[in-house]
Structure 1
Amino acid sequence: MKEKREIVYLKADRNSVCHDPKIKIQDVMSVQCADSAICAGIKNKTLYTFKKNDDQKKEGKKKKRMEVFSMLNVIERIQTDYPDVEIVSIGEQDFVVQLLDAPMAPKWLETLKVVVMVVVIFLGAAFTIMAFNNDVSVGEVFNRFYQQVMGKEKPKVSEIEIFYCLGLAVGILVFFNHIGKKKITSDPTPIQVEMRKYEQDVDMAFIENAGRKGHEHDVS
Protein backbone atom coordinates (compact mmCIF):
# COMPACT_ATOMS: atom_id res chain seq x y z
CA MET A 1 0.00 0.00 0.00
CA LYS A 2 1.35 3.42 -0.95
CA GLU A 3 2.39 5.54 2.01
CA LYS A 4 0.31 8.66 2.55
CA ARG A 5 2.20 11.89 1.84
CA GLU A 6 1.98 14.91 4.10
CA ILE A 7 0.23 17.88 2.49
CA VAL A 8 1.62 21.38 3.01
CA TYR A 9 -0.63 24.34 2.25
CA LEU A 10 0.96 27.68 1.35
CA LYS A 11 -0.85 31.00 1.12
CA ALA A 12 1.14 34.03 0.00
CA ASP A 13 -0.06 37.63 -0.13
CA ARG A 14 0.75 39.66 -3.21
CA ASN A 15 2.87 42.10 -1.21
CA SER A 16 4.66 41.59 2.10
CA VAL A 17 6.68 44.18 4.03
CA CYS A 18 9.59 43.01 6.20
CA HIS A 19 12.07 44.88 8.38
CA ASP A 20 14.67 42.12 8.83
CA PRO A 21 17.04 41.55 5.86
CA LYS A 22 16.86 37.80 6.47
CA ILE A 23 13.47 36.80 5.07
CA LYS A 24 11.93 33.55 6.27
CA ILE A 25 9.04 31.78 4.60
CA GLN A 26 6.76 32.54 7.56
CA ASP A 27 7.43 36.27 7.05
CA VAL A 28 5.76 36.34 3.64
CA MET A 29 3.18 33.55 3.68
CA SER A 30 1.04 31.30 5.84
CA VAL A 31 2.02 27.64 6.19
CA GLN A 32 -0.27 24.83 7.32
CA CYS A 33 0.56 21.14 7.70
CA ALA A 34 -0.74 18.31 9.90
CA ASP A 35 2.85 17.45 10.87
CA SER A 36 3.95 20.19 13.27
CA ALA A 37 7.66 19.41 12.82
CA ILE A 38 7.46 19.81 9.04
CA CYS A 39 5.37 22.96 9.44
CA ALA A 40 7.87 24.54 11.83
CA GLY A 41 10.80 23.61 9.62
CA ILE A 42 9.23 25.17 6.54
CA LYS A 43 8.23 28.33 8.39
CA ASN A 44 11.77 28.94 9.62
CA LYS A 45 13.43 28.18 6.28
CA THR A 46 15.26 31.21 4.85
CA LEU A 47 13.74 32.41 1.60
CA TYR A 48 16.06 35.30 0.81
CA THR A 49 18.61 37.60 2.44
CA PHE A 50 18.85 41.22 1.37
CA LYS A 51 22.38 42.54 1.03
CA LYS A 52 23.50 45.49 3.12
CA ASN A 53 23.19 48.83 1.40
CA ASP A 54 26.09 50.91 2.69
CA ASP A 55 25.36 53.84 0.36
CA GLN A 56 21.89 54.17 1.85
CA LYS A 57 23.27 54.32 5.39
CA LYS A 58 25.79 57.01 4.41
CA GLU A 59 23.05 59.13 2.87
CA GLY A 60 20.77 58.59 5.89
CA LYS A 61 17.76 57.73 3.75
CA LYS A 62 14.86 55.38 4.33
CA LYS A 63 14.47 53.25 1.24
CA LYS A 64 12.35 50.29 0.18
CA ARG A 65 14.05 47.40 -1.57
CA MET A 66 11.86 44.96 -3.44
CA GLU A 67 12.22 41.45 -4.83
CA VAL A 68 9.74 39.38 -6.84
CA PHE A 69 9.34 35.66 -6.17
CA SER A 70 7.50 32.89 -7.95
CA MET A 71 5.68 30.30 -5.86
CA LEU A 72 7.45 27.64 -7.94
CA ASN A 73 10.75 28.91 -6.54
CA VAL A 74 9.42 28.54 -2.99
CA ILE A 75 8.15 25.03 -3.71
CA GLU A 76 11.52 24.06 -5.17
CA ARG A 77 13.31 25.29 -2.04
CA ILE A 78 10.95 23.39 0.26
CA GLN A 79 11.26 20.16 -1.71
CA THR A 80 15.04 20.17 -1.36
CA ASP A 81 14.55 19.60 2.39
CA TYR A 82 11.22 17.77 2.28
CA PRO A 83 11.07 15.81 -1.01
CA ASP A 84 8.20 13.56 0.14
CA VAL A 85 5.65 16.26 0.96
CA GLU A 86 2.85 17.39 -1.33
CA ILE A 87 2.63 21.18 -1.61
CA VAL A 88 -0.59 22.99 -2.41
CA SER A 89 -0.54 26.75 -3.09
CA ILE A 90 -3.82 28.55 -2.41
CA GLY A 91 -2.49 32.11 -2.58
CA GLU A 92 -0.70 34.31 -5.08
CA GLN A 93 1.53 32.59 -7.63
CA ASP A 94 3.85 35.61 -7.90
CA PHE A 95 4.45 37.95 -4.98
CA VAL A 96 6.53 40.94 -3.94
CA VAL A 97 8.70 41.15 -0.83
CA GLN A 98 9.69 44.62 0.40
CA LEU A 99 12.45 45.39 2.86
CA LEU A 100 11.65 48.61 4.65
CA ASP A 101 14.62 49.84 6.64
CA ALA A 102 14.08 51.60 9.94
CA PRO A 103 13.47 55.34 9.50
CA MET A 104 16.64 57.37 9.92
CA ALA A 105 15.14 60.85 9.54
CA PRO A 106 14.39 62.81 12.75
CA LYS A 107 10.82 62.73 14.01
CA TRP A 108 10.40 66.50 13.71
CA LEU A 109 11.09 66.26 9.98
CA GLU A 110 8.35 63.65 9.52
CA THR A 111 5.96 65.88 11.51
CA LEU A 112 6.87 68.88 9.36
CA LYS A 113 6.13 66.89 6.19
CA VAL A 114 2.70 65.94 7.53
CA VAL A 115 1.89 69.56 8.48
CA VAL A 116 2.94 70.87 5.07
CA MET A 117 0.87 68.19 3.33
CA VAL A 118 -2.21 69.00 5.43
CA VAL A 119 -1.91 72.72 4.64
CA VAL A 120 -1.47 72.09 0.91
CA ILE A 121 -4.46 69.72 0.78
CA PHE A 122 -6.63 72.11 2.80
CA LEU A 123 -5.82 75.11 0.60
CA GLY A 124 -6.22 73.06 -2.56
CA ALA A 125 -9.62 71.74 -1.49
CA ALA A 126 -10.78 75.23 -0.47
CA PHE A 127 -9.71 76.69 -3.81
CA THR A 128 -11.49 73.88 -5.68
CA ILE A 129 -14.75 74.47 -3.81
CA MET A 130 -14.60 78.24 -4.37
CA ALA A 131 -13.79 77.79 -8.07
CA PHE A 132 -16.73 75.38 -8.45
CA ASN A 133 -19.11 77.80 -6.70
CA ASN A 134 -18.03 80.59 -9.03
CA ASP A 135 -18.32 78.41 -12.15
CA VAL A 136 -21.92 77.42 -11.42
CA SER A 137 -22.84 80.85 -9.95
CA VAL A 138 -23.94 79.51 -6.57
CA GLY A 139 -24.21 83.04 -5.14
CA GLU A 140 -26.64 84.12 -7.84
CA VAL A 141 -28.71 80.97 -7.34
CA PHE A 142 -28.92 81.67 -3.61
CA ASN A 143 -30.02 85.26 -4.25
CA ARG A 144 -32.83 84.23 -6.59
CA PHE A 145 -33.96 81.37 -4.37
CA TYR A 146 -34.08 83.60 -1.27
CA GLN A 147 -36.00 86.31 -3.12
CA GLN A 148 -38.56 83.84 -4.47
CA VAL A 149 -39.14 82.19 -1.08
CA MET A 150 -38.87 85.17 1.27
CA GLY A 151 -40.11 87.84 -1.15
CA LYS A 152 -37.28 90.25 -0.39
CA GLU A 153 -33.62 90.84 -1.15
CA LYS A 154 -31.21 88.41 0.47
CA PRO A 155 -28.82 89.91 3.04
CA LYS A 156 -25.08 89.45 2.64
CA VAL A 157 -25.07 86.41 4.95
CA SER A 158 -28.29 84.43 5.27
CA GLU A 159 -29.50 81.06 6.51
CA ILE A 160 -28.80 79.57 3.08
CA GLU A 161 -25.03 80.18 3.26
CA ILE A 162 -24.87 78.93 6.85
CA PHE A 163 -26.67 75.65 6.15
CA TYR A 164 -24.79 75.25 2.86
CA CYS A 165 -21.46 75.42 4.72
CA LEU A 166 -22.68 73.04 7.42
CA GLY A 167 -24.04 70.60 4.84
CA LEU A 168 -20.81 70.74 2.87
CA ALA A 169 -18.75 69.89 5.96
CA VAL A 170 -21.08 67.05 7.00
CA GLY A 171 -21.13 65.69 3.44
CA ILE A 172 -17.33 65.59 3.31
CA LEU A 173 -17.13 63.80 6.66
CA VAL A 174 -19.76 61.24 5.66
CA PHE A 175 -18.21 60.65 2.24
CA PHE A 176 -14.71 60.09 3.59
CA ASN A 177 -16.12 58.13 6.54
CA HIS A 178 -13.78 59.73 9.06
CA ILE A 179 -13.96 62.10 12.00
CA GLY A 180 -10.43 62.60 13.22
CA LYS A 181 -8.95 59.15 13.83
CA LYS A 182 -12.35 57.48 14.18
CA LYS A 183 -14.36 55.93 11.37
CA ILE A 184 -18.10 56.51 11.20
CA THR A 185 -18.78 53.01 9.88
CA SER A 186 -16.70 49.86 9.51
CA ASP A 187 -16.67 50.18 5.70
CA PRO A 188 -13.35 51.11 4.06
CA THR A 189 -13.09 54.77 3.18
CA PRO A 190 -12.90 55.92 -0.48
CA ILE A 191 -9.25 56.84 0.07
CA GLN A 192 -8.49 53.35 1.40
CA VAL A 193 -10.21 51.77 -1.60
CA GLU A 194 -8.27 53.90 -4.07
CA MET A 195 -5.00 53.26 -2.25
CA ARG A 196 -5.58 49.49 -2.39
CA LYS A 197 -6.29 49.72 -6.13
CA TYR A 198 -3.13 51.77 -6.59
CA GLU A 199 -1.05 49.28 -4.58
CA GLN A 200 -2.42 46.37 -6.62
CA ASP A 201 -1.58 48.13 -9.89
CA VAL A 202 1.95 48.92 -8.66
CA ASP A 203 2.52 45.33 -7.52
CA MET A 204 1.28 43.90 -10.82
CA ALA A 205 3.46 46.31 -12.81
CA PHE A 206 6.50 45.46 -10.67
CA ILE A 207 5.88 41.71 -11.04
CA GLU A 208 5.45 41.95 -14.81
CA ASN A 209 8.54 44.15 -15.24
CA ALA A 210 10.62 41.78 -13.10
CA GLY A 211 9.43 38.83 -15.18
CA ARG A 212 10.28 40.54 -18.47
CA LYS A 213 13.72 41.62 -17.29
CA GLY A 214 14.49 38.22 -15.78
CA HIS A 215 14.82 39.58 -12.24
CA GLU A 216 12.11 37.36 -10.75
CA HIS A 217 13.20 34.57 -8.40
CA ASP A 218 11.84 31.62 -10.33
CA VAL A 219 12.81 28.00 -10.97
CA SER A 220 15.77 27.55 -13.29
Structure 2
Amino acid sequence: MAAPVYIRTKQSIYVQPLSKVRLADVARVTGSKRHMPELEQMVLHQVAEEDRNIVVIDSFMIVEQVLDKFPQMELELIGPNQCVVHVEKHKRQPSPILICAIWILLFIGAAMAIMNFHYDVSMQSVQQKLHFMLTGEEEEHPLWIQVPYSIGLGIGMILFFNHWFQKRFNEEPSPMEVEIFNYQEDLDHYVAIKENKVEKQDVDR
Protein backbone atom coordinates (compact mmCIF):
# COMPACT_ATOMS: atom_id res chain seq x y z
CA MET A 1 0.00 0.00 0.00
CA ALA A 2 1.40 3.38 -1.03
CA ALA A 3 2.19 5.89 1.70
CA PRO A 4 -0.36 8.74 1.95
CA VAL A 5 0.43 12.23 0.77
CA TYR A 6 0.05 14.87 3.48
CA ILE A 7 -1.14 18.35 2.53
CA ARG A 8 -1.04 21.20 5.01
CA THR A 9 -2.92 24.25 3.75
CA LYS A 10 -1.56 27.70 4.48
CA GLN A 11 -3.71 30.37 6.15
CA SER A 12 -3.15 32.99 3.44
CA ILE A 13 -0.73 33.91 0.66
CA TYR A 14 -0.06 36.89 -1.62
CA VAL A 15 0.24 36.60 -5.41
CA GLN A 16 0.58 38.92 -8.37
CA PRO A 17 -2.38 39.68 -10.69
CA LEU A 18 -3.07 37.14 -13.47
CA SER A 19 -0.65 34.63 -11.94
CA LYS A 20 -1.12 30.89 -11.61
CA VAL A 21 -1.79 29.55 -8.12
CA ARG A 22 -0.02 26.21 -7.70
CA LEU A 23 -0.41 23.63 -4.97
CA ALA A 24 3.07 24.44 -3.62
CA ASP A 25 1.93 28.06 -3.21
CA VAL A 26 -1.11 27.35 -1.04
CA ALA A 27 0.08 24.27 0.86
CA ARG A 28 3.05 22.28 2.04
CA VAL A 29 3.10 18.81 0.54
CA THR A 30 4.99 15.78 1.81
CA GLY A 31 4.80 12.05 1.28
CA SER A 32 5.77 9.78 -1.59
CA LYS A 33 8.64 11.36 -3.53
CA ARG A 34 7.45 9.86 -6.82
CA HIS A 35 4.67 12.33 -7.50
CA MET A 36 5.94 15.25 -5.41
CA PRO A 37 7.31 17.47 -8.24
CA GLU A 38 4.17 17.02 -10.31
CA LEU A 39 1.91 17.60 -7.32
CA GLU A 40 3.65 20.78 -6.20
CA GLN A 41 3.53 22.29 -9.70
CA MET A 42 -0.15 21.44 -10.19
CA VAL A 43 -2.11 24.60 -11.11
CA LEU A 44 -5.17 24.99 -8.88
CA HIS A 45 -6.39 28.36 -10.11
CA GLN A 46 -5.60 31.00 -12.71
CA VAL A 47 -6.11 34.47 -11.25
CA ALA A 48 -8.42 36.48 -13.53
CA GLU A 49 -9.69 40.05 -13.56
CA GLU A 50 -13.09 39.01 -12.17
CA ASP A 51 -11.37 37.59 -9.07
CA ARG A 52 -10.67 41.16 -7.96
CA ASN A 53 -8.31 41.06 -4.98
CA ILE A 54 -9.27 37.88 -3.09
CA VAL A 55 -9.55 34.21 -4.04
CA VAL A 56 -10.37 31.37 -1.65
CA ILE A 57 -8.78 27.97 -2.33
CA ASP A 58 -10.86 25.36 -0.50
CA SER A 59 -9.38 22.07 0.69
CA PHE A 60 -12.20 20.25 -1.10
CA MET A 61 -11.06 21.92 -4.34
CA ILE A 62 -7.53 20.67 -3.72
CA VAL A 63 -8.69 17.09 -3.07
CA GLU A 64 -10.94 17.16 -6.12
CA GLN A 65 -8.20 18.29 -8.49
CA VAL A 66 -5.52 15.99 -7.06
CA LEU A 67 -7.76 12.90 -7.21
CA ASP A 68 -8.85 13.83 -10.72
CA LYS A 69 -5.20 13.55 -11.77
CA PHE A 70 -4.14 10.76 -9.40
CA PRO A 71 -7.26 8.65 -8.67
CA GLN A 72 -5.40 6.05 -6.59
CA MET A 73 -3.59 8.53 -4.38
CA GLU A 74 -4.39 8.57 -0.66
CA LEU A 75 -4.56 12.10 0.76
CA GLU A 76 -4.39 13.37 4.33
CA LEU A 77 -5.34 17.02 4.90
CA ILE A 78 -4.09 18.91 7.94
CA GLY A 79 -4.21 22.57 8.89
CA PRO A 80 -6.81 25.16 7.79
CA ASN A 81 -9.66 24.17 5.47
CA GLN A 82 -9.17 27.21 3.24
CA CYS A 83 -6.33 29.32 1.97
CA VAL A 84 -7.08 32.99 1.31
CA VAL A 85 -5.18 34.22 -1.75
CA HIS A 86 -4.62 37.98 -1.72
CA VAL A 87 -4.03 39.43 -5.17
CA GLU A 88 -1.51 42.25 -4.78
CA LYS A 89 -2.06 44.94 -7.35
CA HIS A 90 0.58 47.53 -8.13
CA LYS A 91 0.55 50.18 -5.44
CA ARG A 92 1.67 53.74 -5.90
CA GLN A 93 4.34 55.12 -3.63
CA PRO A 94 2.69 57.19 -0.88
CA SER A 95 3.07 60.94 -1.17
CA PRO A 96 5.51 62.51 1.34
CA ILE A 97 3.01 65.33 1.85
CA LEU A 98 0.26 62.83 2.70
CA ILE A 99 2.58 60.99 5.11
CA CYS A 100 3.48 64.26 6.87
CA ALA A 101 -0.18 65.29 7.08
CA ILE A 102 -1.18 61.93 8.64
CA TRP A 103 1.80 62.06 11.03
CA ILE A 104 0.85 65.58 12.20
CA LEU A 105 -2.80 64.57 12.60
CA LEU A 106 -1.87 61.51 14.68
CA PHE A 107 0.62 63.53 16.74
CA ILE A 108 -1.97 66.20 17.58
CA GLY A 109 -4.61 63.56 18.34
CA ALA A 110 -2.28 61.64 20.67
CA ALA A 111 -1.20 64.86 22.42
CA MET A 112 -4.82 65.90 22.94
CA ALA A 113 -5.70 62.45 24.33
CA ILE A 114 -2.82 62.58 26.83
CA MET A 115 -3.64 66.15 27.91
CA ASN A 116 -7.34 65.36 28.34
CA PHE A 117 -6.47 62.28 30.41
CA HIS A 118 -4.19 64.33 32.65
CA TYR A 119 -6.90 66.98 33.03
CA ASP A 120 -9.52 64.35 33.96
CA VAL A 121 -7.34 62.85 36.71
CA SER A 122 -6.10 66.29 37.91
CA MET A 123 -2.48 65.36 37.30
CA GLN A 124 -1.18 68.89 37.91
CA SER A 125 -2.94 69.02 41.28
CA VAL A 126 -1.47 65.63 42.22
CA GLN A 127 2.04 66.79 41.30
CA GLN A 128 1.58 70.00 43.30
CA LYS A 129 0.48 68.01 46.37
CA LEU A 130 3.39 65.61 45.90
CA HIS A 131 5.79 68.54 45.77
CA PHE A 132 4.26 69.97 48.98
CA MET A 133 4.51 66.60 50.77
CA LEU A 134 8.20 66.25 49.86
CA THR A 135 9.38 69.86 50.34
CA GLY A 136 6.78 71.52 52.57
CA GLU A 137 6.50 74.36 50.04
CA GLU A 138 3.69 75.18 47.61
CA GLU A 139 4.66 75.44 43.94
CA GLU A 140 2.32 76.01 40.99
CA HIS A 141 4.70 74.35 38.49
CA PRO A 142 6.89 71.71 40.19
CA LEU A 143 9.16 71.25 37.16
CA TRP A 144 11.50 68.82 38.93
CA ILE A 145 8.54 66.40 38.96
CA GLN A 146 6.82 67.38 35.70
CA VAL A 147 9.88 67.27 33.41
CA PRO A 148 11.08 63.74 34.42
CA TYR A 149 7.46 62.56 34.32
CA SER A 150 7.06 63.83 30.73
CA ILE A 151 10.34 62.23 29.64
CA GLY A 152 9.39 58.96 31.35
CA LEU A 153 6.01 59.01 29.63
CA GLY A 154 7.69 59.15 26.21
CA ILE A 155 10.25 56.45 27.09
CA GLY A 156 7.46 54.26 28.46
CA MET A 157 5.52 54.50 25.20
CA ILE A 158 8.63 53.58 23.19
CA LEU A 159 9.29 50.53 25.40
CA PHE A 160 5.61 49.55 25.34
CA PHE A 161 5.47 49.50 21.52
CA ASN A 162 8.97 47.92 21.36
CA HIS A 163 10.05 50.16 18.47
CA TRP A 164 12.24 53.15 17.87
CA PHE A 165 11.69 53.96 14.19
CA GLN A 166 12.97 50.74 12.50
CA LYS A 167 14.84 49.46 15.57
CA ARG A 168 13.28 46.68 17.65
CA PHE A 169 14.50 46.23 21.23
CA ASN A 170 13.71 42.50 21.50
CA GLU A 171 11.98 39.70 19.59
CA GLU A 172 8.71 40.04 21.52
CA PRO A 173 5.91 41.41 19.28
CA SER A 174 4.48 44.78 20.24
CA PRO A 175 0.80 45.13 21.23
CA MET A 176 0.18 46.90 17.91
CA GLU A 177 1.65 43.97 15.95
CA VAL A 178 -0.49 41.51 17.92
CA GLU A 179 -3.63 43.53 17.19
CA ILE A 180 -2.76 43.74 13.48
CA PHE A 181 -2.14 39.98 13.42
CA ASN A 182 -5.48 39.27 15.13
CA TYR A 183 -7.26 41.63 12.75
CA GLN A 184 -5.71 39.96 9.69
CA GLU A 185 -6.57 36.50 11.04
CA ASP A 186 -10.20 37.51 11.67
CA LEU A 187 -10.36 39.11 8.23
CA ASP A 188 -9.01 35.97 6.53
CA HIS A 189 -11.48 33.83 8.47
CA TYR A 190 -14.39 36.07 7.43
CA VAL A 191 -13.30 36.11 3.78
CA ALA A 192 -12.76 32.34 3.77
CA ILE A 193 -16.41 31.88 4.77
CA LYS A 194 -18.03 34.64 2.72
CA GLU A 195 -16.00 34.26 -0.48
CA ASN A 196 -15.74 30.46 -0.58
CA LYS A 197 -17.16 29.48 -3.99
CA VAL A 198 -17.40 25.80 -3.02
CA GLU A 199 -19.59 26.55 -0.01
CA LYS A 200 -21.69 28.98 -2.08
CA GLN A 201 -22.37 26.23 -4.60
CA ASP A 202 -23.44 23.89 -1.79
CA VAL A 203 -25.84 26.53 -0.45
CA ASP A 204 -27.30 27.18 -3.90
CA ARG A 205 -28.05 23.50 -4.32
Change (3 A) 1:206 1:129: same
| Residue from 87, 92, 106 that aligns with 1:121 | 106
Structure 1 distance, partners of 2:44, 2:89, is 18
Structure 1 range deviating more: 121-130 or 204-213: 204-213
Aligned pairs for 1:126-141 (under 5 A) are 126-141=111-126
Return the match for 1:151 from 132, 136, 140. Answer: 136
Q: What residue is the counterpart of 2:154 in the other structure?
A: 169
**Over the residues paired in the alignment, what is the CA RMSD in angstroms?**
2.4
Identify the residue that residue 5 of structure 1 maps to in structure 2: 2
**Aligned AA (1:23):** V
* CA distance in structure 2 between the aligned counterparts of 1:141 and 1:164, rounded to whole angstroms: 12
Distance in structure 1 (CA, Å) of the matches to 2:47 and 2:59: 19
Distance 1:149 1:216, change over 3 A: farther
Q: Normalising by structure 1, what TM-score? A: 0.82
Q: Is the 8 A contact 1:64 1:101 kept in 2?
A: no
Q: Which amino acid aligns with 2:62?
A: V
Tell me if structure 2 keeps the 8 A contact 1:31–1:39.
yes
1:211: how far off?
A: 4.7
Higher mean displacement: 18-27 or 148-157: 148-157
Q: For 2:104 and 2:40, how far apart are their aligned partners in 1?
A: 46
Aligned to 2:32: 34
Question: Is the 8 Å Cα contact of residues 58 and 196 (structure 2) preserved in structure 1?
Answer: no
Unaligned segments of structure 2, at least 5 residues: none
Give a deviation string over 1:149-204, Cα, whole Å, max 9, x none: 11112253511011101110111011111112111111111011111111111112
- 1:57 aligns with none
**Residues 62-94 of structure 1: CA distance to partner in whole angstroms, max 9, x if unpaired?**
x96112222011011011112222111121112
Judged with a 3 Å threshold, the aligned counterparts in structure 2 of structure 1 residues 188 and 17 are, in CA distance, closer, same or farther, namely: same
1:65 maps to a residue whose letter is N
The normalised TM-score by structure 2 is 0.88
**Conserved? CA contact 2:131–2:142, under 8 Å:** no
Separation in 1, partners of 2:107, 2:84:
34
Q: Which residue of 1 aligns with 2:175?
A: 190
1:18 correspondence with 2:3: no
* Runs of 4+, deviation exceeding 4 Å: 211-217
Indicate how the Cα distance of structure 1 residues 199 and 83 shifts in structure 2: closer, same or farther if over 3 A, else same: same
Instruction: State the 1:33 CA deviation.
Output: 2.4
